[in-house]
Structure 1
Amino acid sequence: MANRQKGFLSAMRVALASAALLLGACSHTVKVDGEFPQPVGPQHPLTVGVYLSEDFREFTHHEDSEDRDEWNISTGRAQENLFQTVLSSMFSETVPLGQYPANLPSDVELVIVPEIRELQFTMPRETRVNIFEVWIKYDMHAYAPNGDSVASWVITAYGKTPTAFLKSREAALAQAINVALRDAGATLYTGFARVPEMQALIDEKRRAISLEQIPSPTDTASATDAPVE
């Protein structure tokens, strides 16, 4: 009888250990394919080149820690769509750059290069609230046509979503990421001109345009001296 009990306990331990291994090996894949509305508003009078690197366009966040399942979260396509949509609405002309700094078009006045610094998320069991929360941080870089750095700044975005009406944790996390990306787009759009170096560049370009529109003394004199028929 004692041997049977020992055998039963050993079998239970093996079963529990196997179950724990299976749970620990659980893997989740999230692919975010967001479509974002184009902001509407006045454009900055600049011709801007936009370079989205391969790492940026194909970014995947991988996480596999002891206290979490394995997560593979692909946001590259969504953030590519976001930055292309927002930046193209911000300037009088945008030029997508397939490479940088080589072969830069001569009319480009500024080059913008975003990089993703980090993506973090929390799950309901970690916060004791039935929501997923996401934080994304981007490093923004602006360069002159000759390659000199003009400005660098950081965009921090936040998104959350309740899980109650979603079918899976993957869907809930994808929705939270989309909310965070929209927040990043809004911050980029409204905050660009608040970066001191960018504000100075915009003001300088507007002054140059205003001076071009002022008639020269020669043109004024010619118009005054013209015979009246």
Structure 2
Amino acid sequence: MKYRIKAASPHQLTTVLFLSLLLGACSHTVQVAGKYPSPVGDQLPLSVGIYLSEDFRNYIYEEDSEDREEWKINTGRAQKNLFETVLSSMFTNTVSLSQYPEDIPKNVELVIVPEVRELQFTMPRETRVNIFEVWIKYDMNAYDPRGQQVASWVITAYGKTPTAFLKSQEQALTQAINIALRDAGATLYTGFEKVPELQAFLSGKLRSASLQEFKVKSSKAE
């Protein structure tokens, strides 16, 4: 039996092309790759390991709900840059760890491991205000070299940007995310010593260092 393939009519081709363009128009990709300045201030006298997991370094948020257009938002590179920059400025020595908890350098006194808990955003048509808003929440974890948890706290960051002078929705959302990431960095920098468990940890380290210094001076005096 032979089958004949009927050629599509111009009207059918136009319909297919229109639907393809419509589907493409409803899909958005955002690649955030910001660079962030190092905070300036006194460094804490600690040697700290920084572990950014593969999921953290390559984090992608995907929105695919029925009442929204499709969004694919990659913040991995940007948040890697942010956390490495801020944490490196906070301590006298930092070490980037390729794995954890194995193979921790002997001089590391504390290991910090951030994780993305959630990313949320709103669009102008949802709020009836001509801005994009972004919220990012990070779970922060600090461990001693043996893997025992020292502290666990949460950082919540917020960013918004008007769309009026930006060329696209993607550009507006990228700017809002970068503002949220800067907010996360500022909160990390200013709030670290306010975490009660970290206050206790730092006090213990300072007492230990002072005692060691006293012993050294005493031995020299003898």
The TM tier, using the shorter chain, reads 0.7 to 0.9
Larger Rg: 1
Pair 100,218 (structure 1): closer, same or farther in 2 beyond 3 Å: closer
1:52 aligns with 2:52: yes
Give per-residue Cα distances to partners, 1:94-132, cap 9 Å, x unaligned: 000001111111111111000001000000000010000
The aligned counterpart of 2:134 is 134
Q: Measure, in 1, the Cα distance between the counterparts of 2:95 and 2:20.
A: 52
Structure 2: 5+ residue runs without aligned partners? 1-10
Q: Measure, in 1, the Cα distance between the counterparts of 2:220 and 2:26.
A: 76
Q: Number of paired residues?
A: 206
The aligned counterpart of 2:165 is 165
Q: Measure, in 1, the Cα distance between the counterparts of 2:219 and 2:66.
A: 78
Q: Measure, in 2, the Cα distance between the counterparts of 1:85 and 1:128.
A: 36
Residues 198-209 of structure 1 mapped to structure 2, 5 A cutoff: 198-209=198-209
Secondary structure of 1:159's counterpart equals: strand
Asked if the contact 2:82–2:181 (Cα under 8 Å) also holds between the matched residues in 1, the reply is yes
TM-score with structure 1 length normalisation? Answer: 0.85
1:112 aligns with 2:112: yes
Structure 1: 5+ residue runs without aligned partners? 1-10, 223-229
Shift of 1:43: 0.8
Q: Which moved more, 1:185-194 or 1:195-204?
A: 195-204
Q: Measure, in 1, the Cα distance between the counterparts of 2:73 and 2:218.
A: 63
1:67 aligns with 2:64: no
Shift of 1:67: 1.1
Secondary structure of 2:119's counterpart equals: strand
The aligned counterpart of 1:176 is 176
Asked if the contact 1:123–1:133 (Cα under 8 Å) also holds between the matched residues in 2, the reply is yes
Q: Which moved more, 1:203-212 or 1:54-63?
A: 203-212
Q: CA RMSD in A?
A: 1.9
Pair 168,148 (structure 1): closer, same or farther in 2 beyond 3 Å: same
Asked if the contact 2:150–2:201 (Cα under 8 Å) also holds between the matched residues in 1, the reply is no
Give per-residue Cα distances to partners, 1:28-69, cap 9 Å, x unaligned: 000000000000101111111000000000000000111111
Residues 1-229 of structure 1 mapped to structure 2, 5 A cutoff: 22=22, 26-214=26-214, 216-220=217-221, 222=222
Pair 25,169 (structure 1): closer, same or farther in 2 beyond 3 Å: closer
Shift of 1:168: 0.2
Secondary structure of 1:86's counterpart equals: helix
Asked if the contact 1:160–1:179 (Cα under 8 Å) also holds between the matched residues in 2, the reply is yes
TM-score with structure 2 length normalisation? Answer: 0.88
Pair 141,188 (structure 1): closer, same or farther in 2 beyond 3 Å: same
Asked if the contact 1:24–1:69 (Cα under 8 Å) also holds between the matched residues in 2, the reply is no
Percentage of identical aligned residues: 69
Shift of 1:24: 8.7
Q: Which runs of 4+ in 1 moved over 3 A?
A: 18-21, 215-219
Shift of 1:204: 1.5
Give per-residue Cα distances to partners, 1:147-179, cap 9 Å, x unaligned: 111111000000000001100000000000000
Secondary structure of 2:35's counterpart equals: coil
Asked if the contact 1:60–1:76 (Cα under 8 Å) also holds between the matched residues in 2, the reply is yes
